[in-house]
Amino acid sequence: MEKILAAASAVLGERVSRPVDLGGSSRSHVLRCETGDGGTVVVKAYLDASGFGAEVAGLPLGGGLGPRLLAVDPSFPLIVMSDLGAGPSLADVLLGESADAAREGLLTWARTYGRIAVAGAGRRHEWERSRAAYSGDGAGRRPFPEVGDLREVLPVVPAGLGGELTTLKAIVERYPVFSPGDICPDNNLLTADGLRVLDFESAGYHSAFLEAAYVRMPFATCWCAFRLPPRVEAEIEDVYRKEVLVVHPELADDELWEAGVRQAVAVWTIFMTWVLVPRARERDEPMHSTRTPVPSRRQLLRYRWSRLLDELDRGGDEFPAVREAVRACLESTAEWEVVELPRYPAFTPTEPG
C-alpha cells in the first residue's frame, strides 16, 4: 500500500493519502485516495500488464463516459483517474425494487455503449499503438476454446463441432466496435451526469454482435445475471442497435443482425460453459461470494444452455453439432434439479412483458 501511494503521489505531482479499497480484482488494486486540496482520485495498480495497457489506451477513447486519465506510471504500473463518486451501480438497481429505475438504467446502459462505439470509430490503430507501447504485444483478449479444450467439459463432442467453432470464432472480428470490454452491471455507475463506465481493463475492439448478445442473454460473463422481461430485452437491444448503426449502417438489415446476435450468444455460451462447468460439477455455489440475490453456477449454466437452444431454433438447421452438444449438457445435468432462473428482482414475476 505504501509503495502504491508513493508511486501515485510522484506521478500525479501531489500527495495522495487515506486510501479506501474499492475492491479491484485478482488483476489489480483499486483505491480511492484523498488529495491535498480535499478532493479525491482513484488509483489503480496492476498485476497484469495487458490490462494496464488496454486501460491506458482505452480511457481516452471513451467519449467522456468513463473516468478521466490524470497520470500514468508505466514502471509500477499504475494510473490515476478522476473519481466518479459512489452512486449506485446498474447491478444495485437491477437487484432493487423499482422496475422503472431498472428499465431506465438498462436503456441508459445500452445507449452509453453505443455511444462509446461511435466515439472509438476509426481509432483502432491509435488504440493498438498506445496499448502496445504500454503492454507489449499482448492484447489481453479472452481466449476462445478449441475442441480439445471442451473434451473435458462436454458430455459429448459431436462430429463437426470443430468446424462450427471455427465459424463462430470468426464473428469476433465482424463489424468491430470499440468497447471497454467488461460491461457487466457492477462496472456501470449511475451518477447525476448519467451512466459512467468504471472499468476499461479489457478495452479493445470486437464485434458489435458480441456487445448486443450481452443484452439478449443477458450479461454473458457476469455474476449479476437473471432473466429480463422480453419487452424490456427487445427495447434495450434496439437502443444499442440504433446507436451502433452510425458505425455500421449495414446492421440495419434484420436478417444480418439476427444471425449475428444469435451466433454471438453461441460464442458467449460456449465460452462460459468452458469456464464454469468444471467448478459447477464439483459443487454448486453462488456466482458472487458476497452479493445477494445471485444465481448459482448450475442455475445459470442451465439457463444459458436453454436460451441458446431457443436462439438456434430461430436459425433453422445451422450449427447442428453445437445444438447436439448443448442438448447433451442439459440432459446430463438434469439431476442438478436447480430452480429456473428467475427475473431480476426489480422486474417482479407479474411485471408485464
Residue-range domain boundaries for the chain: 2-82, 90-336
The DSSP letter of residue 181 is S
Tell me, yes or no, if the two domains 2-82 and 90-336 fold the same way: no
The three-class DSSP label of residue 89 is strand
Give how far the C-alpha of residue 326 lies from the chain's centroid of Cα atoms, to the nearest Å. 22
The hierarchical CATH code for the domain 2-82 is 3.30.200.20
C-alpha cell at 107: 436503456
Q: Are 64 and 210 in contact (CB under 8 A)?
A: no
Count of alpha carbons within 13 angstroms of residue 190, beta-carbon side: 18
Q: What whole-number distance in Å separates Cα of residue 14 and Cα of residue 16? A: 7
What pLDDT, on a 0 to 100 scale, did the predictor assign at position 137? 56
What pLDDT, on a 0 to 100 scale, did the predictor assign at position 316? 85
Count of alpha carbons within 13 angstroms of residue 299, beta-carbon side: 19
pLDDT in tens, the chain (353 residues): 899 999 999 999 999 999 999 876 778 899 999 999 889 999 999 987 788 999 999 999 999 999 999 999 999 999 999 999 888 999 999 999 999 999 999 999 999 999 999 999 999 999 999 999 987 655 555 678 999 999 999 999 999 999 999 999 998 889 999 999 989 999 999 998 899 999 999 999 999 999 999 999 999 999 999 999 999 999 999 999 999 999 999 999 999 999 999 999 999 999 999 999 999 999 999 999 999 999 999 999 999 999 999 999 988 889 999 999 999 999 999 999 899 999 999 997 655 55
What pLDDT, on a 0 to 100 scale, did the predictor assign at position 353? 57
C-alpha cell at 76: 509500477
Give the CATH fold of the 90-336 domain. Aminoglycoside 3'-phosphotransferase; Chain: A, domain 2 (3.90.1200)
Using the CB atoms, write b or e for 136-166: b if 16+ within 10 Å.
eeeebeeeebeeeebeebbeebbeebeebbe
